[in-house]
Amino acid sequence: MTPPPYTVNPKLVPPGASLVIIGMAAAGKTTIGQELASLLGIPQLDTDHIIEAHYGTDLHTVSKGLSKSAFLDLECAVIMRLNLKHCVISTGGSAVYRPQAVRHLKTLGPLIHISVPLPVIMERIARKPERGLAIDPGQTLEDLYNERAALYAEAADFTVEGGHAPAAVYADKIACMLSLPQ
């Protein structure tokens, strides 16, 4: 088996730590997380998939069946139970709403924010409207985006600007940013 092409810098990512990806719904957190995990030769986990597995249905159905506050509490409870080492964790877009969830994620490893412009997010969500989204009744996607922007900025240890390029491009940027010089 060939070794992974990147070696993470222990000054940036402590040995055994995970890499936690945060960002807006439709930012590409899961796909980028999968690519990043592949580059680093480590497993990847998506917290939305844990919620789906628990309920036995898709995230859209779960989020529609709960108030925003109840969904955020559920997501926080899932995050608080995570005890993972040396993997990539892709979180749901609303993971940053509960300070205790953010604090716990930081104990697992650095938080990497995938920052994607609002028009790209709007385009992606329009293509897949059944995506689970923790949003208040009457709240617009733009309102939600603006509300979360400060939360992501505050929580993030690193930020990568995302957009229309393939996920592998952003995964490579993250791996380069966190790796030892070659």
Domain ranges of the chain: 19-174
CATH 3.40.50.970, applies to 19-174: no
* Four-point Cα dihedral 77, 94, 33, 161, nearest 10: -150
- The answer to which of 11-15, 38-42, 52-56, 127-131 has the lowest mean pLDDT is 127-131
Mean pLDDT of 83-101: 97
Per residue in 123-174, pLDDT (tens digit) is 999 998 888 788 888 999 999 999 999 999 999 999 999 999 999 999 999 9
The structure's pTM equals: 0.94
pLDDT > 90: percent of the chain:
85
What is the H or E stretch that residue 127 is in?
Answer: helix 118-127
- Contact (CB, 8 A) for 71 and 94: yes
